[in-house]
Amino acid sequence: MSNIILGRYIDGDSIIHRMDSRAKLILSLYFIVIVFLCNNWQTYALLGIFTLGCVLLSKIKMSFFIKGVRPLIGLILITVLLQLFFTSGGTVYWQWGPFKLTSFGIINSIYIFCRIVLIVLMSTLLTVTTTPLEIADGLESLMAPLRKIRVPVDEIALMISIALRFVPTLMDETQKIINAQRARGVNFGEGNLFKQAKMLIPILIPLFVNSIKRAEDLAVAMEARGYQGGPNRTKYRQQHWHLADTIGIVVFLALTGGLVLLRG
Amino acid sequence: MPLIQIQDLTYEYDDFKLGPLNLEIEKDQWISVIGRNGSGKSTLARLIDGLIEAQSGTVTVDGLEVNEQNVWQIRSQIGVVFQNPDNQFVGANVEDDVAFGLENRQLSHAEMVKRVSESLEAVGMTEFAKHEPSRLSGGQKQRVAIAGILAIRPQIIILDEATSMLDPEGRRELIQLIRHLKDQYHFTVIAITHDIDETVFSDQIIVLDQGKIRMQGRPADVYRNRDQLMDLGLDLPFVEKLKFKLQENGLAELKDDEILDEKEMVAKLWQLNSNM
């Protein structure tokens, strides 16, 4: 669990940290779209340099980003190998049954590799520079237009924020239950797959029952504090759109222009 | 007119029956409700706050009857601190949690910022404003819960076994803090507890057993009925126990004295010692 970097916030003070979460969310999604505009080495070079610039701006050590890519190595490798051996066209260097190594295949697999790495870098950049809470706030305000089609945006936002708040609490509790069951003689992580799955029951059932208890307590506490649901609430956490956010959007638009020009 | 008036209140579930209860609570008092597990203490608190509905009888808070129309108005006058510090922490961090009640009351952002910082200051948690609940101790979380209640400026604060999951140090600190805040903000405290040591400074103690009021009165009067308290599964506070043991061992002078805390006890013993 501890080696997953994607989705973990690292405190810092940089332009990217201070940007509005709404801007960061929109731009990260937009980045994934414009990655697909790339179709030659110039465009990939431009995007690569741009991503590297963003990473440097965040003042976070490169090693964090490398760790972010690491768990996905298997996935990247499979995709790259599939591209490498199953793309036809161009000069054929080597062939064996359905497998063939072609010039197109080599180029395509390099492009795919770059594409995945760029997307992973950008999403890691989003999650390491934005707290989960800011992401939830950003999502809430981006979902606001959905209120018109009767999507309960406020309830969804509250649910996300409570869920995030209880993640560490439930993690602690899980660990406690695991230790308590161990002390009573349960051996975790032994035997075949079926046996291991069965061992999870003494963890999951108490966790489930306790969660219901917690939910009840929390509901009573919320009601006692005047929570009536719905959109009739003011917000303590405020989001501020800064100049940096506008500049960020302009830069991304300029980047899109550059990519379109360089496209072969 | 009393602040809280309870008339012929009954509430039943499964094989438990509360009441019929009649009770009057005056303004600015510290009321302790004590009784063993299952005596109906928490049920009483929830009935006052309108979190559960009585089968018969009425509860009136500050002139308003607790019913479906008034319940939100009454709740805005009452703050409750519950037992489990983790399960009542709604916000993602300290200041968010304190602001939760204010958001529900639709206060403006500027007013919320002011009240949140004031309340955190009052409970001494200002430097923890940005901390997440997982980084706080149980006692600190209860302080945050109190700050959240102070922010809404209630007339009544109900402590529903608020100290029962804390260590002795944390308990003492929390009770001290609430006593101090009570002097400053002038609210009524209804403290539900099964720790009799916490009842020592109350203006009135109400002893519940099996849903009925068995004893009611000033601490000194309640503590005098030692045998009856024992029968109800309760004990005496430390100073009372000491007084009793000293009497048993021949210090008859202590018999009718009202000695409430350790300081008074020490003073009394000094005085007796110099008379000998």
Q: Where are the domains of chain B?
A: 4-234, 237-275
Of A136, A125, A205, the C-alpha closest to A164 is A136
Residue B105, chain A, CB below 8 Å: the answer is yes
Of B189, B125, B120, the C-alpha closest to B157 is B189
Residue A70, chain B, CB below 8 Å: the answer is no
Q: Which helix (H) or strand (E) holds B72?
A: helix B71-75
CB contact under 8 A, A225 and B112: no
CB contact under 8 A, B82 and A220: yes
Of A183, A141, A112, the C-alpha closest to A23 is A141
Q: Which pLDDT score is estimated for B255? A: 65
Residue B53 DSSP SS3:
coil
Residue B129, chain A, CB below 8 Å: the answer is no
Residue A5 has pLDDT above 60, yes or no: no
As a whole number of angstroms, the distance between CA A151 and CA B170 comes to 44
Residue A229 has pLDDT above 90, yes or no: no
Residue B31 DSSP SS3:
strand
Of A82, A100, A79, A99, the C-alpha closest to A91 is A100
Would you tell me which residues 39-78 of chain B have a C-beta closer than 8 angstroms to some C-beta of chain A? 46, 49, 51, 72, 75-76, 78
| Contact (CB, 8 A) for B57 and B7 | yes
Query: Which residues does chain A have within 8 Å of residue B82's beta carbon, measured at their own beta carbons?
Result: 217, 220-221, 224
User: What DSSP string describes A20-34?
Assistant: -HHHHHHHHHHHHHH
From the list B51, B104, B132, which residue is nearest A227 (CB)? Answer: B104
Tell me the CA distances in angstroms from A200 to A182, A209, A210, A214, one per residue in order. 12, 14, 16, 21
Minimum Cα–Cα distance from A210: chain B residue: B87
Q: Tens of pLDDT along chain B (276 residues)?
A: 788 888 888 898 887 888 788 999 999 999 999 988 888 888 999 999 989 888 888 899 988 888 888 899 999 899 999 999 999 999 888 999 999 999 999 999 999 999 999 999 999 999 999 898 988 999 999 999 999 999 999 999 999 999 989 998 899 899 999 999 999 999 999 999 888 888 888 999 999 998 899 999 998 888 888 888 888 888 888 888 888 888 888 777 776 667 777 888 888 888 888 876
* Mean pLDDT, all residues of chain A: 86
Locate the domains of chain A by residue range.
15-130+241-263, 144-225
| Contact (CB, 8 A) for A221 and B82 | yes
Residue A262 DSSP SS3:
helix
Q: Dmax of chain B from CA atoms? A: 67
As a whole number of angstroms, the distance between CA B233 and CA B216 comes to 16
| Contact (CB, 8 A) for B26 and B10 | no
Residue A6 has pLDDT above 60, yes or no: no
Residue A8 has pLDDT above 80, yes or no: no
Q: What is the number of alpha carbons within 13 Å of residue B103 lying toward its C-beta?
A: 24
Please, which pLDDT band fits residue A1 given cuts at 50, 70 and 90? very low
User: What are φ and ψ of residue B32, in 5° steps?
Assistant: -105, 130
pTM over the 0.80 mark: yes
Q: Which pLDDT score is estimated for B138? A: 92
Residue A168, chain B, CB below 8 Å: the answer is yes
**CATH: 3.40.50.300, 3.40.50.2000, 3.30.230.10, 3.90.1210.10. Which one for B4-234?**
3.40.50.300
